Structure formats: structure tokens, C-alpha cells
Structure 1
């Protein structure tokens, strides 16, 4: 795009990510989870784990939970805990004397194979861990203030916290608001910022009440859920230097970033509680963990970019193996291509432990569905993340699966019987759904497909009759305006007792990483997410100027740089091809079509349009993404010779 001065003045506030990275190398599955050491509390009789911190005697921390850990700089990490009890702790859950809403430790221990040793805990008196964020401790007002995430930018440390109004049933609680607190003295004292807050609503459903925080590419990404453990995962971000400016946050709307919280759409379907998200440089993947209470397990997802697409859930640690487990906070120094260290809480004995998991290569990293082969289904009524309509369940080790031990089944004597799962998609994007089916001989009305969530319109489906042997069905569909779709396989039992079995289901995104590449879904002449403009630009809607369809984008001015652009998520160190069709005014002699690094970074490659293009002409630019997780693609022109315009249509980025 040649000259960069004008561009640099405005680009930083107009970036937008796209979903991408399907099939990314480095996807993993956790295995062989073991408990390494106790982190907090006293060693009970018979426990043989190392206990390097002896927090009960050293800091009057007898019982506590969480263990949120992040790199604070200076060769240390912070380790942040929730409700904490001292002398008089009840010994079973969070209750008793010496109550503090939260406490904080520092650690320089980089050798985690034998445990996590604290350097010290922040104290208000000798051998007494300090409550760093005060709370009223009044039920139905402010019962407590619980930290949910932390991050350090420069020398300033930040905590995301929730103000708990009252506790509800197990796994449910209700918050007044979430907020950001900060410290400028190495964590000794903290200030709750008065306006860096997300107020809850009257229905207690605001999705920005609990969080995980990740620095990447000059931004801090805020992955969030509502209060409690049963919500979807949403995403916001702010520039690193603007975390205390609530107006600086932008919210992922399914295709791009919006200034409106109300526009936010999920990046992953819950049931999710107590998030942890990190970037694993060895894998080139982001890792997300959370508790899925319906599965009675802590699960892991991975993705090539913060916005996804996120893989399906993979079981990290079960409640059967670790009774009462309810989180997994990843240690930023304890992750490699083959290992993952994390801190988990167990309700009884209401303390925290360091755990280690092995990471094995996952050949289905592009599969967006959880439990595609039904192999880790527990014997629960809900069978999450699969859900039933009518009759059905899981064939566990019955010798009937196509692969592995288990498969899903539906069966009924009448009506609709189906297995179904909700999954996040990018709007107006192509997907391919595959699955293997087998049925009873009397089946005549089976359907395998995808529809809008909540029994919405069918987006694509494959009907099937009697299938005596396992048979693959493939469905291609476009997501339309939806950000969540429901995948299903089922039968109408119109001929009496009818059954179908389902196994090895997959959902993968199409190749084009550009959203709305043909501009057909743009709602007005003003460009909206995921497209953004510099100078004078917009959308020609139904004016007869498009190459295909009804719409195209335009830029036009008599001075300066004018462009339309979009931020596309990519896999680092990977080659891509950007294509698009461009037409210009007769006097255009300094146009550009290309890709560059975000935040005014280097141009990766571009086509310089030095001559007028009287008809739509295909432009093709090949580039390497370098170390970046996102690039910005653009089409624009310098209006050097008076009134100058450029039109662009059918833009695509595909992985080579």
C-alpha cells in the first residue's frame, strides 16, 4: 500500500479478527493426568504428596481454592486464590474462621516436576496472608469478591474479579458486577477501578462476569462466562495500555469486533465455569480449560487464534479420578509440546494441587464437535455435550461402535428421536458435516444435518433410510446469519420400534478465511463488521456494480488513502493466498491489494495497481504469515489525481 503515514494514524483502532486456522498443526489431546504436589493447606494423614508451602503454618491459609497463575515479570509468577480460611476453618469446603475473600502468592519456581514453591505470600502481618481485594461480606449485598483472572502489562498488575451478591445452588451464584483492579507496588496493594466494570443485569445473565486474560499481539483478550458454571464462553479485547478504559473494549460478534456488549456472541458453547486460557508457543495453539459440570469433568479446548474456531472439548481431569475437582488454571511456565502443568481445586479438602498432563497429538484438530466418537461419555442423564430428543443414549463397550468402544444411539416407538449438539460457527460461512450411521431395517425417515439453534430452520441435511452397515453421510451447508448451529442425527419412528446408531461425527469449516468476502450480507451502504474502512469507503448494495451477487465494496475520494479492510486470523509461519477482483476509475494509478501485520506492522505482500482497471480483474497475492496469529487484508487507493475510486468483490484468503 506504499505510503504508510496516513494509515498509521488510524489503523490501530480499526482492527478485526476473523475465525480461522481450521486444521492447524499442533492440536493436542490430554492424557495421563497425575497429581504432582499439594499447593496449599496441611498434609492430612496418609497423603504422600510433597507440600513445599505449608501454608497453614506459614500464612494461616488452612483452606482455599482457585490458584490462578500468571507471569508477573521479574522472573516470578503470581498465584491468586479465592475465599480463604485460617484458624477455625471447618475442614470441609469453604467455611469457618479466619475468612479472607482472596489471597496472593509469588513464586519463582520453574522446576514444577517436584511441586510449586512460593517465594512468599502478600501479608498484612507476620505469617498471615493478606486479603488483597476487600468485600462487604454481607449476604444479598456483597457476600465476597472473588478473583477470576490476572495479567501483567509492564510494571502494572491487573486482576479481573467478580462481586458476589449471593451464593445459590451448587454451581450457581449471582454477581453484582465484574471489574478490574490494579497494583503498582508488586501486588502489595490493589485498587478497584471505579469504572472498569461490567454490571450484571436483572436476570443475572451478563456474559462478562468471570474471565480468563491473555496477552497477544498488543491486546489483552478477555474470555468470559456469566456468573456460575453453566454459561457459554464469550470474548472481548482491549489494547494492553487501556485495560482500565471500559470504552476501549471491543466484543466479538461472531465475525468481528463491536463496541457493543449486546452484540457479543459465543466463541465456545458451555457448560463452562472457571476458565483458564493461555498461549502455548511450542504448539502454536491457544489452550482453554474449564469445568463442565454436566460432564463431571474439567475439559480442554484448543485453537489457532483467540477467536477460534475452538476444537471440541477433550476431557482433562474427571471428578471420578479427582473427587470434587472444579478448575484447572494453567501455569504459564509449565507447558510444552508434550506437557501441561496446572493448579486445580478440590472441594473436599477445599485446597489446591499441582497436576501434570501429557499432551498427545490430535489428528482431528479441525473438528469443531465435542465427543465425536462418544468415547468419554459418562453415565449421566444429560450425556453432555450431546443431548437427546426422544429416546436414546450411549452404547458403552457393546461391540457395536464403528471405531473405539462407544457409539451413540436413538430409539423409539413413535415420534422424533435424535442426538444433537450445539456448536459455534462463523456467520455466512461454509461448513462440512460428516458422520457414520447404522439403522434398524424398518427405518424410512432418518435425517442427519445442521439447523439453526433452538429447532430453527434446517441449513442442510441428508435423509437416510435403512442402513444395515455403518454408512457415511456428508452434509455441506452455509451457516447463514447464525453464530450457533445444532448438529443432529435422528429418526422418525413411524413404523414402530425404530433405532439408529451414530459414530465418528465431524464438523469442519470451509477453506475461505475471509468473512462476507462477497459483501452480500452487509446491511447498509456503510461498511459494518467484519469490514472496516479508512478514508471514504462503503458498500454498493444492489446498484449493479458487483462482479457476482448484488453487492460489492467501494473506496472513493479526491485526496489521501482510502481503503476497505478486514483482520483475518491465520496460523503462524504458514503460506496463504489472498485473492480478490478489483475495478478502478480511469485515473487510478496508485492502488494496493494486500496483507500486512496488525498494528501498523510490516507489509507481508501486496499487489501495486499502477494502471486503471476498466473491468473486474483478478488480483492474487501470496504471503507468509510469519509469527502472527492475524493479518489485515486490504484494498485501497491513494487519490493523487482528484476524484478516484476502486471497487472490490469476491475476496478470499486460503491456506496453501
Structure 2
């Protein structure tokens, strides 16, 4: 680090690159296979003259790791990790030993390179000279300036769009934005993935608020997202969740998502130099599929009247703004526990009392206007006194419905007229039956009719 100093005393040596990560820890690697892998291993350093950067490539048995530095002594930074999944490997995954970037094949602008590696695994011999294409785009600070348009798809090649994915079974990433909805690429790679994604990056920042995701094929062992489905944008090199995400139609998180069906995700106006649809892959083989992915900064996206409608902005297990609680019994937020209807979080109430408890939010409305309120609710078998609806802020019911046992998340809706009110309170709660009982709620929407 800093200015290098030479010495004949080996005891004065200092590391120039330290990465203590471990990949495929014991809870993830299949039994009997390599696990707890260090990330610094066989590899080499090459100087990319056009980018004025030294590049170090390494491998971990399952992944390639990439680092860059302005000088051989650093500071080194990881800029890419490519995971090819655990064993068994097929001939599409050959490559590992001595990952290098031959200087001969670096493009004039330095952005296109080729990674050379080879391996012997399970009878599949590949000690030949084997190359994989690597394209990099140095980050440049830009200000997004694209205007809103319902027809201008940002995922066009002219924008420098590059498709990104966790894994591409067939390598046909050009299919993601070729205009044909009936294609199929999928992420099947024999790995028990916990996250999967499809998306794009750009060489500049764009404004955006809408993504249209068309599924690919559905298979007996996968092809769909099974949970934690969300949209993320890349800002300053980090992936962050969009806010106020709404999906139309509702994505079922099962194979019922269907082949070559389009799901539109809209969210609050944001910006980034990348976007992706991300979630837990479904099926026994843990993979998803895609036919097409379009991205827009649309005019027609109406901001949701509710805030934090899916509890995704809740930062702890305690209910916080804009939501609040009614009643004295236990309530909270499930965060990333797999209980959500959509996204990662949901609200809940659980009690053994016979009291009334509810989750509520106050919402600004236009007087004398018709609305429809919808939420997804799940409840224990002994719930009979569940109520969902809208009231005035003092607590007078405007419209509500009664629900009972809902073994799976079920959509419930009420319509109402706001009357003279400028603010109403939406709620979901229940009169407990005097025994252990619960409700879970998620994905509220309030729409003006």
C-alpha cells in the first residue's frame, strides 16, 4: 500500500492484497465436496495499459475472482466475482486452474479481455487453451437526464446495455432484449442457489421506475422465483432495493407464474447504472427462466397512495413509521424469514388473548372520491373475528369486511368513498379467540377508482 520500499529483510514484507472471505461454507457446499474456500489462489497479474490498471485473477474451485489496482502494490479492490456453481460440473463449466488474462488478447481500448483457464474434473479433460470473454466498463460519474416516456425501452443495445445474470444455461443473453417474448434462457447450473437475478448494466446513469419481466419456460424442477422477489438498482457500485414496489399481475411465486408471461413492476422514481429482478429461485433444481426484460422511465406510473405498502422499508422487527399498531398484544415485522407474500418482509400479530389488535396506516385522500383497498392476509385456523378495511382517523368505520381462517395468503379488497375526509386509516386486525392465534399481512394497495 502507498509508496513501495525495497528491503533484503524478509521480515519486513507486507501483504499487498488481503481477502479473508470464505465461499461455499459448510452449510452451502454439498456433502463431500470442497467447502470453506479461500478466494486467493492460483492466478496471475496482468497490466492493462489502456485502462492503466493491474488485474489479478484467481479461482476458488467454484468461482473466478477479479481484482484491480493502479500499481502492483495496490490498493487492490475486488470488482467482480463469477460463480459457476458447485459439483457436478458439466463440460460447460470446464475451467478453473490458473485463471489468467493473456495480454495478447486485450482490446485496444482495454475493455474486452479473455480469461484463460482449464481443469480436469470427473473425466472431463480440458487442459487445452480455453478462453472466456470478459468485458469491463470503467465507472464514470454521470447525471441521469432521460425524460419520461411510456415507449422508450432503456434496455436497447444503443444505450450500451449489457445483460447480467447469476448463471446462463445456454449463454443466450441477447435474448433478454431482442423483442421476442417467446424465447427461453434459464439459470439451471446444478447449483442450489439461494439468490438468482436477471438484469442490465449501462455505461451511464438512467432514470427509471418500471421493469417488465417476461418469464421463459416452466419446468418440473424450476423456472420460477419462489420468494423474496424484488427489483434493485445499482447506485455508486451497490445494489439497493427500489421503494414502493407494485406488481401487475400478482406474481404467484410458484410454477403458476407460467411460461412467457409478462409481469410489470413499478416503483418510485429512482436512478442507477444497473437494474435487476432478483429473488429466490424455485423448484428442486433452484433456477429461474426469462424470455424478455424491458426497462422504462414511464409517465404513467402513479405513485402509490400507501407508503411502505409491503413493509420492505421496516428496519427492525418492531413496527415503525408509516405503520403503527392498535391494541396491546404482540405485533411485529417478519424480516427475510420467508413468510412474506412478496419481497422479503411482512407484518404480523400473534396473541393468546381475546383482545382487538391491528396494524394501521393513515393515508391522505381526496374528499368525495371512490377508492379500492387491497391486502394479502393469512391467518391461523381459529381466527373468526378478522376485520380488514378503512376508518376515519378518530376510528369510525367507513368500510370493512370480516375474514376468518385463511391458510394461504389470500387477497381481500374493500371499496369506499372518502366522503368529507382528507385522511383515512387503513387497517388489518382481528379479535383474538382466547387461544394462540395469528395473522400475517402483506402487499397493501390503495387505488383511486
TM-score calculated relative to the size of structure 1: 0.25
TM-score calculated relative to the size of structure 2: 0.36
More strand by share: 1
